[in-house]
């Protein structure tokens, strides 16, 4: 397994405050692994994810993606990085409500992706022309996964993907993410404050007050079905 | 409430700022244009006041100043009279046309002095107008020469001045144009007076001499004419006498001929009568034939009928008698008529014996007579009775009988008659039947039949009866058969005899016709006795004879008439020849007389011209201060006090050329400047309405909360109203500031254009009030309209906001996304557009589009009419003006100059025309047209040719007077038919041919010239040597000069375009920013997905194409209508702006709008980069 993305002494402060949202964080993500980041609300998980995903800029430190330091990137390079390498999933889905499922998915699709295949993969066959507000939360989240899948990302960042879903729906989304990682060998990073989920990960980082305070390696991660809720 | 303001200002600072700017722009334009143009007028008034510009100006050539003295100070504050001449000024080699006027001791200070030299000699000083001195490089202290009379006098340039007259671009009343090297100069009164006095004296000496010569010549010519005319008149009288004598003879002859003709006609009528009657007889005989035929059809059984009738009618006859008569009749009918009437026959003897024959006939006649009461029949019978030609009673009886028999059939053919025949036939049949009935055949047969029956029933009984009756029955039967056969035979015989009777009738008929004919011929002959004594032959022969006699007579008469006519003709021809000779003589006489008259009148004209071109004209200048009605003052001066003073020209302050010139330049623009703020105010209304609506929409949450806290909608509305009041006050104040700049720009601009030396800025307090009130009203209307939205806000719905927003956007975006679906690259951001903003944008951009287009259309139209005048209409290079008539020799002289290609006379006739109760001054150009020097065109650009007899009227003048093509108008008592209507955007000139113009009083003549070389100087030099020429115009420099002036009108267009762009950018900026603010989160999602800001920006920009194109589609028709309205408003009396925009203006407008949209877009796109992605996509709940 090779190193997909890593960071060194990553620090983020907002404004001129002395408050560190991230404080000297160093970590790495291996290719094809399923990484879970847990931590209390406000511990800096989202901040870390945003920095790694190139949608925010750090105050200091370095982020290496495939040996390129993305902290040196200009806006254009960063955008290309987001466009070509990163997939994002949010707690509130962030779908465009004015567009149909298919239109949402194809927004930034690469040329070769097939909408129907992707929809089939996420279990939403035939929903091409539905509008997001007519779907359940779980289905909406699947659409956002499908949107990520349409552009053939290297790494999928999921910020609280099941934060607004009930148990049954959460399970289905996690199954999908698990499948992406285990079957399709995608690198998947899941941020959550739910510690149970960490049982399905290859590796688990625990964050507190802007620092990674613990790293745990599961030699034999459980499958989602095996986790008790 | 203050908190609410705080929220509004904090949240919508930029919108409010935009509102303020837009309001201030509108106010500035309204305020600026109102006061700017008012300041122009004020500056002019001030300048004219300072320069003692006259309130009333009268032009006269009166010399006697004492005549003018009676006006002095009695009614008028100040009266001034000055001399002025049109002459030539020379500076080194420069030769320039000028009008030199005098200044006296008093009016020395009447000029605005720019520069002044102190060491001057006073007497030979010359004051030169500033612009003129600049144009011609005349400086203070220069020495120039001025031509007075035949000599040049040296003058010293002592002052450079500004004078109102220099503002006038119209040197000759009515002629449009500007002469840049025609100037006004002023010299001392005494100089001009003394010099002109000398010249004048000489002129008058010459004039008197000429006049004396002329009157002598005139007298002798008239005498000669009168004597010749007398002879002619005598000859004419004689001719008339002769011709009336011959006329009488011809009349008499004609009368006689007519009499003969009437005679002939009468005879012809008579013969026609005869022929008609003969025809009637023919008809009659054929009628008889018809009756004979019908008679043939009658059965001889009529006898029975006759018997019966006789029996009925004459019951007193005994049965034997009846039988006897009836037998005779029957006998006769059977064809034995001859026997009846033959005395040797038995029957005749029987008849004679019984002496019954006459009675019988009588009975028969009575019967017929009674039965057919025909008058004709009666008449004929009576006639026949009278005739005692019958010797033998029997013959007579037979004739009567047959006739009566026949006449019974010849009676009137009526339906009754036919019915009678039918009745007769029926009666006969009945009779036959009756006879049959009497025979006992049937009863016998019955008996016989009974017997036969009995044979079967009882053979015994049968045998008995048979035995008894058989022989009797058989006998009876036998007898019956016999009787029956006999009867049938008789009937058969009667039928046979019928034919004979018909033959007899035929015979009688012929007899009768001959008889009638004879009687008729006699009566005709009787009537012919009136015409001739020779009664031999038939009437027709007599008539023929008579007719041929008349024919002979007529021929003879005709021959006689012809002969006389021939003689008359020859006599008449000699008369006509004589007359022609007389007429020729008359024409020759008239010709020589009119030639003499023309000669005389031309000479008289010469004298008049000589008088007209005295070059010494007094201008009376009245300074009437505070006069209420200068126009009436002028009229009263004309009427009462100046009766013995000849007024050449006059005007008042209000209608002076200076005012006209200013109005000409400013009035049109004033109207445009009035329309534009109106449009801007409409835009303000729309923009504010939409911006405020936007604010309210954006503030729904806050409003809902305020409502929940217990505020009413009206309270919230009041907040907006007060807030926008504050906004408008700020905007108005800013607008006044900006407007003040505009006032300065406009005033100075026109001051320069009109050459007013000093500007006076004025701000009318009414304009302040107007701006204030209008703006506040508009803003508050917009606010109230927009706050209607408040009533739609229900707090609950707003606070569960997701639902609410979904409803708002879906429908609108669906339409556009559907529309753009085939182009996913352009469509993916469509829904980020807000419907209201989108419409707001389109309306405002459309409005600015139409404003910009209108401005450009105005500029285009201006160029167009300029071109039309200088490039299409005028096609000559120079023009020389002269007071009075130019002769062909003079034209020839100019033509012969080596730098002149060709030259032609162009005459000016300034006159008044009255039609339909309207009276206006018009200018007529007279020249011989070949479409080469001046192109006259109608509105469709068809070239018109000057007619030989008639006038081409200018369309505007024609419309004003209600004149149509083919109307006849009267100019100076001469009739002109309107042959064509021409169209001119600039100037209003009518055209007639030079020939026709000779009969009108002309004012100014000119020679229009095409030059080989465009340098006019040589021409001026040449012309200046001649006393009579006024000045020359070089059209090349005139064109350049006017082009400059025309281009200067662009200022209004430029101001409007700048304002439109400013407003446009503000609107686009605001709309785009609000789109971004509203859609921040979505845009952040896009950014996080990896879309470049440039991609998003480009996409949004491409989407702006929709409003851009829509603004073209909507704005263009509005713009076209608007520009037509504006052009109409900008048009003045002498200048009509015609719509002339083409693709160029459309494209240019489109590009300008595109550019400012682009700029607005780029400015707002900076916001896009500032969007914080993490901030926006962060979880909100
Ligand atoms: N835009 C911001 N400005 C100031 N503080 C922020 C901002 N975003 C996040 N923070 C602070 O940074 C810390 C980490 O936040 P975040 O990474 O969102 O936590 P988590 O995702 O673990 O709940 C929190 O204390 C939060 O208050
Ligand atoms: Mg978080």
The yes/no answer on whether domain A3-226 falls in CATH 3.40.50.300 is: yes
The Cβ of residue B253 has, within 10 Å, a number of other Cβ atoms equal to 17
Please spell the DSSP secondary structure of B739-757, one letter per residue. Answer: HHHHHHHHHHHHHHHHT-S
Provide φ and ψ at B948, rounded to 5°: -70, -50
CA-CA distances (angstroms) from residue A108 to A150, A152, B1090?
8, 10, 8
pLDDT at B316: 56
**Consecutive H or E run containing B725:** helix B713-754
State the nearest Cα–Cα gap between B693 and chain A, in angstroms.
23
Q: Read off the tokens for B294.
A: 């019908």
Compare CB distances from A133 to B806, B1179, B1181 and report the shortest one's residue: B806
Q: What residues of chain A lie within 8 A of the CB of B1092, using their CB?
A: 76, 79-80
Q: How many domains are there within chain B?
A: 5
In angstroms, the CA B660 to CA B1127 distance is 20
Distance CA B82, CA B1143 (A): 55
Helix (H, G, I), strand (E, B) or coil at B479: helix
Q: Mapping DSSP to helix (H, G, I), strand (E, B) and coil, where does residue A179 land?
A: helix
Identify the sign of the CA torsion A22, A23, A26, A27.
negative
Do B634 and B766 fall into the same domain?
no
Give pLDDT, residue B382.
Answer: 56
Per the structure, the complete domain to which residue B890 belongs is given by 878-1013
Q: Locate the ligand 1 atom nearest the alpha carbon of residue A207 and give its number.
A: 22
Best A45, A79, A104, A141 residue to mutate vs chain B (most B CBs within 10 Å): A79
Verify that B1086 and B1177 share a domain, yes or no: yes
| Ligand nearest, relative to CA of residue A14 | 1
pLDDT at residue B511 in the model: 56
Contact A88 B824 (CB under 8 A): no
CA of A155 to the centre of ligand 2 (A): 18
Ligand 1 pocket (Cβ < 6 Å) reads A 14, 21, 39, 41-47; B 1175
Q: Closest chain B residue to A148 measured between Cα atoms?
A: B1089
User: Residue B118 burial by CB count (10 A; 0-12/13-18/19+): exposed, middle or buried?
Assistant: exposed
Percent helix, strand, coil in chain B, to 5, is 70, 15, 20
Residues B699 and B16 sit within 8 Å (Cβ to Cβ): no
Q: Do A98 and B1180 touch (CB under 8 A)?
A: no
Q: What is the SS3 assignment for B126?
A: strand
Task: Give which of A112, A138, A145, A116 is closest to A128, Cα–Cα.
Answer: A116
Nearest residue (by CA) to ligand 1, atom 18, is A46
Are B904 and B980 members of one domain? Answer: yes
- C-beta separation of A119 from A127 below 8 A: yes
Residues B67 and B21 reside in one and the same domain? no
Pocket test for ligand 1, best of A11, A20, A42, A51 (most atoms within 8 A of CB): A42
Residue B314 counted as domain residue: no
A interface mutation test: which of B811, B824, B1080, B1089 has the most A CBs within 10 A?
A: B1089
Of B1085, B1178, B1179, which has the smallest distance from its Cβ to A96's Cβ?
A: B1085
ipTM value for the complex: 0.84
Residue ranges of alpha helices (H) inside B868-936 are 888-895
Whether B583 is covered by a domain: the verdict is: no
Interior CA angle at B703 toward B702 and B707, to 5°? 115
Q: What is the pLDDT of residue B581?
A: 78
CB contact under 8 A, A82 and B1089: yes
Contact list, B1177 vs chain A (CB under 8 Å): 55, 90, 94
Q: Name the helix (H) or strand (E) containing B97.
A: strand B94-103
- Of all ligands present, the nearest one to the C-alpha of A18 is 1
What is the distance in A from the centroid of ligand 2 to the CA of A44?
7
Reported confidence tier of residue A34, pLDDT bands at 50, 70, 90: very high
Kindly determine whether residue B1181 and residue A96, on different chains, have CB atoms separated by under 8 Å. no
* Non-local CB neighbours of B558 within 8 Å, separated by 6+ positions: B257
pLDDT score, position B436: 44
Ligand closest to Cα of A210 equals 1
Q: Kindly determine whether residue B1179 and residue A90, on different chains, have CB atoms separated by under 8 Å.
A: yes
Tell me: do B83 and B173 sit in the same domain: yes
Task: DSSP letter for B759, please.
Answer: -
Name the residue at shortest CA distance from atom 25 of ligand 1: A42
Residue A62: predicted pLDDT: 93
> Could you tell me if B1180 lies within 8 Å of chain A, comparing CB atoms?
yes
| Within a domain: B290 | no
B-chain CB neighbours of A75 within 8 Å are: 1093, 1169
| Residue B983: alpha-carbon gap to chain centroid | 18
Nearest ligand (C-alpha, residue A59): 1
Cβ contacts of B835 within 8 Å, gap of 6 or more: B808, B809, B812, B813
List the structure tokens of B278. Answer: 């003969």
Rounded to whole angstroms, how far apart are CA atoms B343 and B353? 11
Query: Which two structure tokens, joined as six digits, stand for B437?
Result: 């009935």
Buried b (16+ CB within 10 A) or exposed e, A65-78: beeeebbebeeeeb
Burial of B981 (0-12, 13-18, 19+ CB in 10 A): buried
- Quick check: B816 contacting A, CB < 8 Å? no
Q: How many CB atoms within 10 Å of residue B353?
A: 9
Ligand 1 atom with the smallest distance to the CA of A50 is: 17
Question: What atom of ligand 1 comes closest to residue A12's alpha carbon?
Answer: 12
Compare A65 and B996 and report the one with higher pLDDT.
A65
Q: B515 in a domain, yes or no?
A: no
| DSSP-assigned beta bridge partners for residue B58 | B620, B650
Nearest-CA residue for ligand 1 atom 6 is A14
Q: Is residue B1127 part of a domain?
A: yes
Look up tokens 């909507």; give the residue: B1114
Ligand 1 atom closest to residue B1172's alpha carbon, by position in its atom list: 1
pTM of the model: 0.62
**B1174 contacts in A (CB within 8 Å)?**
46-47, 50, 55-56
Residue A127 per-residue DSSP state: -
- The residue assigned the tokens 């100076």 is B972
Residue B817 touches partner A, C-beta closer than 8 Å: yes
CB contact under 8 A, B831 and A98: yes
The DSSP string of B1000-1054 is: S---EEEEEEEESS---HHHHHHHHTSSSEEEEEEHHHHHHHHHHHHHHTHHHHH
The long-range contacts involving B705-714, CB below 8 angstroms and separated by at least 24 positions, are B705/B795, B705/B799, B706/B4, B707/B793, B707/B795, B708/B795, B708/B799, B713/B787, B713/B790, B713/B791
Residues B91 and B191 placed together within one structural domain of the fold? yes
* Residue that finishes a domain, picked among B658, B693, B718: B658
Last residue of a domain, one of B744, B762, B791: B791
Q: How many Cα atoms occupy the beta-carbon half-sphere of B326 within 13 Å? A: 20
Whether residues B830 and B915 fall in one domain: no
Of B1015, B963, B1170, B970, nearest in space to B1084 by CA: B1170
- Does B140 share its domain with B166? yes
- Looking at the structure, do residues B1043 and B1175 belong to the same domain, yes or no? yes
Whole-number Å distance between alpha carbons of B1020 and B1031 = 8
Identify the nearest ligand to the CA of A42 by its number.
Answer: 1
Using CB atoms, pick whichever of B1090, B1169, B1179 lies closest to residue A108: B1090
**Sign (positive/negative) of CA torsion B850, B853, B859, B865?**
negative
Are A80 and B1090 in contact (CB < 8 Å)? yes
How many angstroms separate the CA of residue A203 from the nearest CA in chain B?
A: 26
What pLDDT does residue B1003 have? 67
For residue B444, the SS3 value is helix
Transcribe B1064-1122 into DSSP letters: HHHHHHHHHHHHHHHTHHHHHHHHHHT--HHHHHHHHHHHTHHHHHHHHHHHHHHHHHH
Query: Do residues B619 and B725 share a domain?
Result: no
Q: Is B1090 within 8 Å of A83 when comparing Cβ atoms?
A: yes
Any idea what DSSP says for residue B128? E
**B1085 Cβ under 8 Å from any chain A Cβ:** yes
Question: b or e along B323-349 (b: 16 or more beta carbons within 10 Å of the residue's beta carbon)?
Answer: ebbbbbbbbbbbbbbeebbeeeeebbe
- Whether residue B351 contacts residue B401, with contact meaning beta carbons closer than 8 Å, is answered with no
Q: How far, in Å, is the centroid of ligand 2 from the Cα of A159?
A: 7
**For residues B57 and B621, is the Cβ–Cβ distance under 8 A?**
yes
The CA distance from B668 to B1133, in Å, is 10
Q: Give ion ligand 2 contacts, CB < 5 A.
A: A 46
Residue contact B1089–A108, C-beta within 8 A: yes
Is B835 at the interface with chain A, CB within 8 A?
no
User: Does the beta-carbon distance from B1090 to A50 stay under 8 Å?
Assistant: no
Predicted local confidence at residue B400, as pLDDT: 46
A92, A129, A149, A158: best mutation site toward chain B, by most B Cβ within 10 Å? A92
Is residue B1181 within 8 angstroms of chain A, CB to CB? yes
Name the 3-class secondary structure at B616: coil
Q: How far apart, in whole angstroms, are the C-alpha atoms of residue B746 and residue B267?
A: 106
Burial classification of residue B847, based on how many CB atoms lie within 10 Å of its CB (0-12 exposed, 13-18 middle, 19 or more buried)? buried
DSSP secondary-structure letter at B934?
B
Lay out the sheet containing B974-982: strands in order across: B968-971, B974-982, B951-954, B989-992, B918-926, B900-915, B1004-1011, B878-883, B1029-1034
To test the pocket of ligand 1, the residue of A44, A55, A58, A208 to mutate (highest count of ligand atoms within 8 Å of its CB) is A44
* Nearest one of B1010, B1176, B1006, B1004 to B1077, comparing CA atoms: B1176
- Name the minimum distance, in Å, from the CA of A70 to any CA of chain B: 15
- Concatenated DSSP letters for B817-867? HHHHTT-HHHHTTGGGS-HHHHHHHHHHHHHHHHHHHHHHHHHHHHHHHHH
Q: Output the pLDDT for position B758.
A: 85
As a whole number of angstroms, the distance between CA A101 and CA A110 comes to 16
Q: Do B31 and B735 touch, CB atoms closer than 8 A?
A: yes
Query: pLDDT at position B414, please?
Result: 44
Ligand 1: centre distance to CA A13 (Å): 9
Q: What is the pLDDT of residue A25?
A: 92
Kindly list the averaged pLDDT for each block of 10 residues, start to end, along chain B of length 1181.
Answer: 76 85 89 87 86 80 65 68 80 79 71 77 80 84 84 87 73 40 80 78 75 76 77 76 75 74 72 70 60 46 52 55 58 54 67 51 47 48 48 43 45 44 47 46 51 57 55 59 57 50 54 58 68 72 75 74 76 77 76 73 63 59 71 74 68 80 73 76 82 81 76 84 91 93 88 83 89 91 87 67 46 61 56 67 85 89 85 83 78 84 86 82 82 83 85 89 87 86 85 85 80 72 66 74 76 85 85 78 82 82 80 89 86 79 89 90 83 72 44
Confidence of residue A187 (pLDDT cuts 50, 70, 90): very high
């Amino acid at each position: 397994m090779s190193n997909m993305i890593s960071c060194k002494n990553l620090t983020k402060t907002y404004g001129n405050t002395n408050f560190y949202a991230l404080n000297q964080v160093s970590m790495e993500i291996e290719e094809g692994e399923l990484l879970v980041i847990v931590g209390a609300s406000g511990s800096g998980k989202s901040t870390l994810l945003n920095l790694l995903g190139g949608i925010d800029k750090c105050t200091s430190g370095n982020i290496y993606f495939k040996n390129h330091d993305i902290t040196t990137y200009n806006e254009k390079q960063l955008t290309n990085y987001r466009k070509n390498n990163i997939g994002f999933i949010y707690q509130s889905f962030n779908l465009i409500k004015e567009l149909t499922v298919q239109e949402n998915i194809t927004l930034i699709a690469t040329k070769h992706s097939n909408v129907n295949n992707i929809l089939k993969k996420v279990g939403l066959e035939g929903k091409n022309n539905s509008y997001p507000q007519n779907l359940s939360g779980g289905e909406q989240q699947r659409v956002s996964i499908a949107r990520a899948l349409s552009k053939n990302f290297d790494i999928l960042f999921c910020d609280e993907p099941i934060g607004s879903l009930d148990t049954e729906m959460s399970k289905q989304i996690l199954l999908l993410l698990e499948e992406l990682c285990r079957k399709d060998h995608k690198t998947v990073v899941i941020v959550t404050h739910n510690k149970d989920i960490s049982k399905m990960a290859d590796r688990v980082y625990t964050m507190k007050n802007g620092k990674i305070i613990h790293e745990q390696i599961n030699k034999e991660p459980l499958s989602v079905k095996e986790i008790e809720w | 409430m203050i908190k609410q303001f705080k929220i509004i200002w904090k949240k919508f600072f930029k919108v409010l700022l935009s509102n303020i700017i837009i309001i201030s722009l509108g106010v500035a334009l309204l305020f600026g244009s109102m006061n700017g143009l008012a300041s122009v007028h004020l500056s002019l008034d001030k300048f004219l006041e300072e320069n003692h510009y006259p309130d009333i100006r009268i032009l006269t050539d009166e010399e006697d100043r004492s005549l003018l003295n009676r006006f002095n100070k009695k009614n008028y504050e100040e009266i001034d009279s000055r001399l002025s001449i049109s002459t030539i000024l020379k500076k080194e080699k420069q030769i320039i046309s000028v009008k030199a006027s005098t200044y006296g001791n008093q009016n020395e200070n009447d000029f605005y002095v720019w520069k002044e030299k102190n060491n001057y000699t006073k007497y030979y000083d010359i004051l030169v107008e500033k612009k003129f001195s600049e144009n011609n490089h005349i400086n203070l202290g220069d020495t120039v020469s001025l031509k007075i009379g035949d000599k040049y006098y040296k003058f010293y340039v002592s002052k450079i001045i500004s004078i109102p007259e220099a503002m006038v671009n119209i040197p000759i009343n009515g002629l449009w144009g500007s002469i840049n090297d025609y100037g006004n100069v002023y010299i001392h009164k005494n100089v001009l007076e003394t010099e002109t006095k000398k010249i004048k004296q000489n002129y008058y000496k010459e004039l008197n001499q000429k006049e004396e010569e002329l009157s002598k010549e005139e007298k002798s010519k008239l005498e000669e004419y009168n004597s010749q005319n007398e002879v002619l008149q005598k000859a004419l009288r004689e001719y008339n006498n002769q011709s009336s004598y011959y006329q009488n003879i011809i009349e008499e002859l004609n009368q006689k001929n007519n009499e003969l003709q009437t005679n002939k006609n009468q005879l012809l009528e008579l013969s026609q009568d005869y022929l008609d009657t003969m025809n009637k007889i023919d008809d009659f005989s054929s009628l008889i034939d018809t009756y004979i035929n019908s008679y043939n059809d009658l059965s001889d059984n009529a006898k029975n009928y006759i018997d019966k009738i006789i029996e009925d009618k004459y019951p007193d006859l005994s049965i034997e008698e009846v039988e006897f008569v009836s037998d005779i009749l029957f006998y006769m009918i059977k064809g034995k008529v001859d026997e009846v009437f033959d005395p040797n026959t038995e029957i005749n003897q029987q008849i004679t014996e019984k002496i019954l024959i006459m009675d019988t006939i009588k009975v028969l006649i009575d019967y017929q007579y009674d039965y057919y009461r025909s008058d004709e029949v009666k008449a004929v019978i009576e006639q026949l009775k009278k005739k005692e030609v019958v010797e033998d009673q029997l013959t007579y009886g037979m004739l009567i009988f047959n006739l009566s028999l026949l006449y019974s059939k010849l009676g009137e053919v009526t339906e009754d008659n036919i019915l009678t025949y039918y009745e007769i036939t029926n009666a006969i049949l009945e009779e036959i039947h009756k006879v049959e009935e009497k025979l006992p055949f049937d009863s016998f047969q019955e008996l016989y039949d009974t017997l036969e029956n009995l044979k079967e029933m009882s053979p015994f009984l049968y045998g008995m009866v048979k035995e008894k009756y058989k022989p009797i029955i058989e006998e009876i039967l036998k007898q019956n058969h016999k009787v029956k056969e006999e009867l049938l035979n008789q009937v058969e015989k009667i039928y046979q005899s019928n034919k004979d009777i018909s033959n007899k009738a035929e015979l009688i008929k012929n007899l009768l016709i001959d008889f009638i004919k004879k009687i008729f011929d006699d009566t005709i002959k009787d009537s012919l006795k009136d015409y001739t004594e020779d009664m031999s032959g038939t009437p027709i022969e007599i008539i023929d004879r008579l007719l041929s006699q008349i024919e002979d007579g007529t021929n003879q008469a005709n021959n006689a008439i012809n002969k006389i006519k021939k003689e008359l003709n020859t006599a008449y021809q000699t008369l006509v020849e004589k007359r022609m000779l007389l007429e020729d003589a008359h024409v020759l006489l008239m010709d020589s007389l009119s030639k003499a008259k023309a000669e005389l009148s031309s000479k008289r004209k010469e004298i008049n011209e000589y008088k007209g071109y005295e070059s010494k004209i007094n201008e009376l200048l009245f300074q009437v201060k505070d006069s209420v009605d200068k126009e009436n003052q002028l009229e009263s001066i004309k009427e009462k006090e100046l009766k013995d003073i000849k007024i050449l020209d006059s005007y008042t302050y209000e209608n002076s050329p200076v005012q006209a010139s200013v109005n000409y330049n400013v009035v049109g623009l004033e109207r445009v400047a009035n329309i534009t703020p109106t449009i801007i105010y409409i835009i303000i209304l729309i923009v504010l309405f939409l911006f405020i609506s936007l604010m309210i929409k954006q503030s729904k949450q806050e409003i809902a909360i305020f409502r929940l806290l217990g505020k009413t909608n009206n309270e919230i509305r009041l907040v907006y109203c007060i807030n926008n009041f504050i906004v408008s006050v700020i905007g108005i104040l800013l607008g006044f500031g900006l407007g003040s700049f505009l006032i300065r720009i406009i005033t100075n601009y026109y001051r320069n254009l009109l050459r007013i030396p000093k500007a006076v800025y004025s701000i009318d307090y009414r304009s302040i009030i107007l701006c204030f009130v209008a703006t506040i009203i508009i803003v508050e209307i917009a606010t109230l309209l927009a706050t209607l939205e408040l009533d739609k806000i229900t707090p609950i719905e707003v606070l569960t906001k997701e639902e609410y927003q979904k409803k708002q956007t879906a429908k609108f975006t669906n339409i556009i996304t559907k529309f753009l679906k085939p182009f996913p690259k352009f469509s993916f951001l469509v829904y980020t557009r807000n419907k209201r903003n989108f419409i707001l944008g389109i309306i405002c951009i459309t409005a600015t589009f139409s404003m910009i287009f209108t401005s450009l259309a105005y500029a285009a139209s201006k160029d167009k009419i300029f071109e039309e005048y200088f490039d299409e209409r005028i096609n000559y290079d120079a023009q020389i003006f002269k007071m009075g008539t130019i002769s062909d020799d003079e034209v020839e002289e100019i033509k012969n100059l080596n730098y002149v290609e060709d030259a032609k006379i162009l005459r000016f006739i300034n006159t008044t025309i009255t039609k339909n109760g309207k009276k206006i001054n018009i200018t007529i150009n007279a020249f011989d047209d070949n479409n080469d020097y001046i192109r006259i065109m109608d509105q469709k650009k068809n070239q018109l040719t000057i007619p030989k007899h008639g006038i081409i009227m200018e369309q505007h003048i024609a419309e004003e007077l209600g004149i149509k093509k083919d109307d006849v108008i009267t100019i100076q008592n001469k009739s002109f038919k309107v042959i064509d209507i021409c169209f001119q955007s600039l100037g209003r000139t009518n055209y007639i041919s030079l020939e026709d113009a000779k009969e009108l009083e002309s004012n100014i003549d000119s020679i229009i010239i095409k030059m080989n070389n465009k340098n006019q100087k040589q021409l001026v030099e040449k012309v200046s040597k001649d006393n009579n020429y006024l000045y020359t115009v070089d059209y090349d420099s005139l064109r350049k000069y006017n082009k400059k002036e025309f281009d200067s009108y662009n200022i209004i267009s430029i101001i409007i375009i700048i304002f439109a762009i400013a407003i446009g950018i503000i609107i686009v900026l605001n709309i785009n920013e609000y789109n971004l603010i509203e859609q921040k989160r979505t845009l952040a999602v896009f950014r996080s997905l990896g879309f470049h800001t440039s991609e998003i920006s480009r996409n949004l920009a491409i989407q702006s194409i929709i409003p851009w194109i829509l603004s073209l589609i909507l704005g263009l028709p509005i713009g076209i209508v608007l520009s037509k309205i504006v052009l109409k408003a900008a048009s003045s009396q002498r200048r009509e702006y015609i719509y002339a925009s083409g693709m160029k203006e459309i494209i240019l407008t489109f590009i300008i709008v595109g550019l400012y949209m682009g700029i607005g877009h780029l400015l707002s796109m900076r916001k896009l980069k500032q969007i914080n992605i993490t901030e926006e996509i962060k979880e909100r709940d």
